[in-house]
Amino acid sequence: MSVEKIAVASQKGGPGKTTTTVNLAAGLALAGYRVLVADIEPQAQAGIALGVRLTGTDIAKSLALPLQHLAQGVPSTLRSIIIDRTELLRSRKSKGTLHLLASEQATMTNAQHILHAAGVEKAHVLRDLLAELEDEYDFAVFDTPPAVQSLNGVALAASDYALTLCNPKGATVEGAVTMRSTIRHVKDRTSGAPGGASDPKYLGAVLNMAHPMGEWSTEEIDVRNQMVDAGLQPFLTEIREDSRISGSYSKGMPAVIGYARTAPGKRYARFLQEVLDRMDTPEDEWEIAQSADEQLDAAEAAAVPAQQVKEASSV
């Protein structure tokens, strides 16, 4: 069985790629899968979110180094730098595993420059490195850098699936549309690469840092409408703004684990199930979130009969 590789990507910074990546990965591990997180971000945030920060001699474990080596034609391997974070699952008694390929800023920035210079000829360096691990994991989830750049391209070229994000800021919709287009053109952009083209399946966009309907700003209403109108295929499940999620990041414990029985954990679990369902279902059969206008109209229609019942009972 081959590893199912999922990239979490965004053209803009700040919509929540890292929290989405680690909670998606940790949710899969909680479900009993063997999961590998690859931190392809120079800021190394996925590692931090899983309780790992490479410093001193540990910098030698940066994923950037085998990426650099292979891009320069030097044989390399990932086995010696994999960091086991399965201990995070112990409180939930999961039979899954959670491993990490960590990042570090200076080395990953250097890898970015090397890969940019190498061009399409080295687009498959990450895919080639992961090939040796095909029988050891069920899923690999990639945290990618913002914007369309070489590291992002390498992650997408290694992926089987990719999803993007918005939050209640208008600029994130434009960024998600750009990223969707990028994902759908990976096949064309890698057609000249040794080993053949990659063709990741676009899975949709998740609304992150969302609010309950009663707290929607005009901008959030616009974002919800635009996600549907732009064909971003928004997931039914949205991730609500919650201090427990941001607090989990600083503690190095994904919210889906630390708050498994509360709202953040339950939302990530539902989102994970949607991701898995979309992986196995043609796009034209997906259920997508309604626009804000549709949700507001439905809420208004539901409120009218309720008011009529109340008035009738008082007669």
Range of the domain at 206: 4-313
Provide the pLDDT for residue 285.
97
Instruction: Check whether 315 has a pLDDT greater than 70.
Output: no
We report the CATH number of the domain holding residue 134 as 3.40.50.300
Instruction: Check whether 207 has a pLDDT greater than 60.
Output: yes
Provide the pLDDT for residue 180.
94
Mean pLDDT (the chain) is 93
The pLDDT tens digits for 152-184 are 999 999 999 999 999 999 899 999 999 999 999
The pLDDT tens digits for 96-149 are 999 999 999 999 999 999 999 988 888 999 999 999 999 999 999 999 998 767
Provide the pLDDT for residue 307.
52
Percent of the chain exceeding pLDDT 70 equals 95
d(CA 29, CA 251): 19
Structural domain count, the chain: 1
Provide Rg for the chain, Cα atoms.
21
Whether 44 contacts 203, CB under 8 Å? no
Provide the pLDDT for residue 26.
97
Q: Is this prediction's pTM over 0.85? A: yes
Q: For residue 16, is it left (φ>0), alpha (ψ between -120 and 50) or beta?
A: left
d(CA 47, CA 54): 8
Provide the pLDDT for residue 14.
79
Provide the pLDDT for residue 194.
83
Instruction: Check whether 38 has a pLDDT greater than 90.
Output: yes
Structure tokens given for 228: 């549907």
Instruction: Check whether 309 has a pLDDT greater than 60.
Output: no
d(CA 297, CA 213): 12
Provide the pLDDT for residue 196.
86
Which of 10, 12, 19 lies closest to 49, judged by CA?
Answer: 19
Q: What is the mean pLDDT of residues 200-205?
A: 97
d(CA 142, CA 146): 12
SS3 85: coil
Percent of the chain exceeding pLDDT 90 equals 84
d(CA 233, CA 219): 19
The pLDDT tens digits for 139-149 are 999 999 987 67
Cα–Cα distance list, 127 to 110, 130, 151, 228, 296 (Å): 19, 5, 12, 32, 44
The pLDDT tens digits for 41-76 are 999 999 999 999 999 999 999 999 999 999 999 999
